[in-house]
Structure 1
Amino acid sequence: MILDKISLSAVFLCAVTLLGGVSAFPSPEEYPEVIPGPGMPSLESLGLTSKDLYNAIEPENILTIFIVQEGLVPRFTRICTDNGCGRVPKADAQACINYLRGLGSKRCGVPHENIVMCRAGQAIVSGSNIRGGGEVSSACSDVATGGQGIINNCNWGGKIAGADAAYGNGDLIVSIEKC
């Protein structure tokens, strides 16, 4: 019995050595670049790196269910679909949502139909103006809350895709897709 445990430990140690070690996070060279959309603050200006956004701790108990008051009808209902583009890794989507959340009360505006707010790895986080005319905007943290709702509720085995309203603004829709 002791020999079996020693043999198993030796096999594991050899495998770890051959594989170059075991790590829960990619090496710094493996973090996809987080690219803010046009007009958005750069990571450098915020004192952040892509690694910071990939390793940020996901918020616990973040509000992702919007309370509808009696008599009010939501203007947009979350959609969990990839629209034929394909789903994206959760870590890529989460890195962008962490970036947007970190912008806090800065306004994330959508001056026309669609705007890319962030790209990371395979994920593209965009905003859509469904009002039709003029710019719509919300605090970037509210856009992040809508995006977090997608991550929390539109997850197929670690792959994400969907669309949801920015928290408190049914005219600004945040989408997470591959294309």
Structure 2
Amino acid sequence: MPFPTSAPTRAAVNLGAESKAYRNTGTLEAAVFSPIVNASDMKVGEEAEDITITRKGAGRNKEHIGGGDDFPLDFTLRNVRKTVAESAEVLAFLAAKRTRAPMDLLVLDGDIADAASVGWRGDWTILSVMRDETDHQDAKYTIKAVPAPSLTNPVRLVYADGEGAVVDYEDDLGA
């Protein structure tokens, strides 16, 4: 397993054509990363702004959802069948948006089985799931997310270990 010499900087990154997105269908401790099929056009930090996203919480209090120096994630799900029931990914993103439950996502610049892949993993709040039906056969969904406030699974830099798992840079660099 290669040991990274330094963590990539947390700057705007267009992950490129080889990028892959995964959704954790397991637990935080026993992660099972399922590929998000047909995910493309992935960008992390492309439109970073100093924003605050809140919603009405209990007793007229505002509940913080995201903001500050957030690192937005944008990507597209292409070639999704018009019946939403056929796409588990779309249903999972719609449920996460509706409930504002954080979603454990992994975005890498390559495949999880490739030890050279680096990216980000953590809890993301899904802000929007927008559907576009310009094609008569299939639909396209654009997903926008920001890091969720999380003490247990914050968005952080990771690298693939070459065996289907990821390791935090901080764990190996002694930070």
TM superposition score normalised by structure 2: 0.32
Which of the two has higher C-alpha Rg?
Answer: 1
Structure having the larger proportion of residues in strand: 2
TM superposition score normalised by structure 1: 0.31
